[in-house]
Amino acid sequence: MHAITLNQPAPLAENPLHWGEVPTPSPGPGQLLIEVAACGVCRSNLHMIEGDWVDGGVPGISPIIPGHEVTGTVVAVGGDVDGFSTGDRAGVQPLWWTCEQCAYCTSGREQLCHRRRITGEHVDGGYAQYLLSNAAHTYHVPDTLDLTEAAPLFCPGITAYGAVQKLDLGPGTTVAVFGLGGVGHMAVQFARLTGADVIAVGRSADHLRVARELGATRVVDASAEDPGRTLADSVDAAITFAPSDAVTEQALAALVWGGTLVAGVPLAVSDFPFNKEQTIKASLLGNRAQMNEVLALATEGKVRSVVDRFPLREAPEVLGMLVAGKLRSRAVLENRAA
């Protein structure tokens, strides 16, 4: 099969990704072989490719195929699999495998499983013609969804949904979403579904335009004004998807006293005035029930992903566009032979 592989992490400028032929895997017990239709391009892919996570044991194998938000068609079914047949449309998110036994797995928080394996980081991912998936963490994709447009539901979608679910939003409340890329544009939609007013904060004209199209009540151009000052003490909640300490400070400044910040990215806080009784929560993906809720909302036409489509072979160039801020929202690689 053809695939994009990473042999050794290195800066993107050193061309660490390679296009070529690799053996097609066969599904073992509890596994599916999926012919990939599409795979989204996430900034997390870039972190792994460039070696930012080597100290944390990522990538877990070498060589490795990146990519963790995948849709396609089941072409082979391993033993001990119920609920999937060849020809089924399927999707895979970052959680490739969890132990099913720990306190997190048994309480609906499997994304926190300490033994979890991540698609495209510990096992081969979706920058390929075929993907081997764990059936227990594979999802049916409804026939009404375009497979390319559905791919981002499996990372930006579940990530944004999990973050919004950690807030008490509804009519009469206001939430500001900081960072409007692949995840942020989904968060705007999920927050709007609660009935809250949604303020979209970003620096890219394309990102702000997409946020308006998706129903943001208001947009703030962070390249022209300081959102912390513009929104000072005015929002009940904030969600950050921009890995910037300056953005974190702006989000905290925007919060009312007693407000809540949900961080979907790493953050550092140098000044946290306790007397405002603000709350900071972290959010990582979501559980399997929430992933199915995301798919249901997309099927009902209540949320959608905004995508730019590229051939799979152009993955290195697309990652470069991501770094340069030249993408409208979410880039998706298509296996156009699928």
Query: Tens digits of per-residue pLDDT, 77-116?
Result: 999 999 999 999 999 999 999 999 999 999 999 999 999 9
Whole-angstrom Cα distance, residue 139 to residue 119?
A: 14
Arithmetic mean of pLDDT, 188-209: 96
> Do 221 and 242 contact (CB within 8 A), yes or no?
no
| pLDDT band at 270; cut points 50, 70, 90 | confident
Structure tokens given for 232: 């000072």
Average pLDDT score over the chain: 96
Arithmetic mean of pLDDT, 310-333: 95
Arithmetic mean of pLDDT, 158-179: 97
Q: Is 55 exposed, middle or buried (0-12, 13-18, 19+ CB in 10 A)?
A: exposed
Alpha helices in the chain, H assignment, sequence order: 43-49, 147-150, 156-165, 182-193, 205-213, 227-230, 245-254, 288-299, 315-324
pLDDT at 268: 87
pLDDT at 337: 63
pLDDT at 338: 55
pLDDT at 175: 98
pLDDT at 150: 98
Arithmetic mean of pLDDT, 137-163: 98
pLDDT at 310: 97
Arithmetic mean of pLDDT, 42-55: 96
Arithmetic mean of pLDDT, 247-270: 94
* Residue % of the chain over a pLDDT of 90: 95
pLDDT at 336: 83
**Lookup result for tokens 């099913």:** 100
* Residue % of the chain over a pLDDT of 70: 99
Whole-angstrom Cα distance, residue 217 to residue 276?
A: 26
Bridge-based pairing state of the strands 138-140 and 89-92 = antiparallel
Residues near 156 by beta carbon (within 8 Å), at least 6 away in sequence: 40, 42, 69, 182, 183, 185, 186, 305, 330
pTM: 0.95
Structure tokens given for 87: 């020809």
